[in-house]
Amino acid sequence: MAKKDEIIEDILDNVDDHEKRLKTLENGIKQILELLQKIGGESPPQKNTQPAQSNVKVEYKDLENAVYDGMAEYFKANPQVAGGLDQESIKKVSNICYNNYQKVLKEIKEKYQAEVDKKSEEDDKKRDALGIRTQDQISEWAPEYLDYVVGILRFIAYHCIDVDDTPEHAHEFLRVVGNVLAGITKTPDAPPPTLKAWLFHRWKQFKANNRKRKGFFYVVLLLLGLASLVFINEYQSAVMDLDRTNRIFYKNVILNERSAKEYHKLDSLIHSNSFFKTYRTLDD
């Protein structure tokens, strides 16, 4: 506190010093204005609602030089004013003001945070009284809800229920919300088993197995196709060979009378002789 009082006293001393210097500056400004009026050939300004009219034109460069000359003469005649607002003084005043601003701002923030913490503690005590601050408290008076439903109820209670409300009204409101959430998230009961459901399940399993073995079935079908092509090729070759043999036999044996008689004799002998008959039974 003593250090703070010293800083305030320094600021007040600096303010008094600057007030004196400002008065001196005002006098200097008046002298500059009089000098400008002399250069422009105008009389001292009078208090009048109408703007002063003048036909005298002064170049901007001449006016600027006159202002610089007047200020130089003034500060030369009053050296005590020249250092009143130097860079060092301005920096010192700025640092003092900034430090005081930081202190005041810090005090305001601490006071605001203390008020917020106090209000939060009071609200938590009221929520404890309502039984809605934690999930365990909600589970005590609503044990029929699942954990994730209780978590949602706790979030809704923290943001939507007034801490000054009555426990009965708060619990009734949360039960309505909990029933809605429980109905949405509840798993539907399985239907009773039936023959149709069992057959449908087996059919789904069969389709799933077929999907898994689809590659194997394709390979089997490909092999069967190749085997069919080989069998057809061999069968066609055998039929053509048999047809070719029959044509040769018919042309060289049946159409020739002599050969036909000899063939019929041999055929009769083979079918009538007991030796060939016994031989045929052995083959059978």
pLDDT digits (tens, 9 = 90+) for 55-89: 545 566 676 677 667 666 766 666 655 555 556 66
- Tell me what pLDDT residue 275 has: 64
Which pLDDT value is given to residue 116? 92
Look at residue 267 in the predicted model and tell me its pLDDT.
78
pLDDT of residue 42: 47
Longest dimension (CA), the chain: 174
**Residues in the chain, pLDDT under 70:** 1-19, 21-22, 25, 28, 33, 35-61, 63-64, 67-68, 70-72, 74-90, 93, 186-190, 273-284
- The set of residues, in sequence order, having a beta carbon less than 8 Å from that of 181 and lying 6+ positions away, is 145, 149, 152, 153
User: So what's the pLDDT on residue 50?
Assistant: 47
The full length of the chain comes to 284
Predicted pLDDT of residue 43: 47
Residue boundaries of the structural domains of the chain: 131-185, 201-283
Amino acid letter at 112?
Answer: Y
Residue-level pLDDT at 110: 93
Q: What is the pLDDT of residue 53?
A: 47
CA 21 from chain centre, in angstroms, equals 62
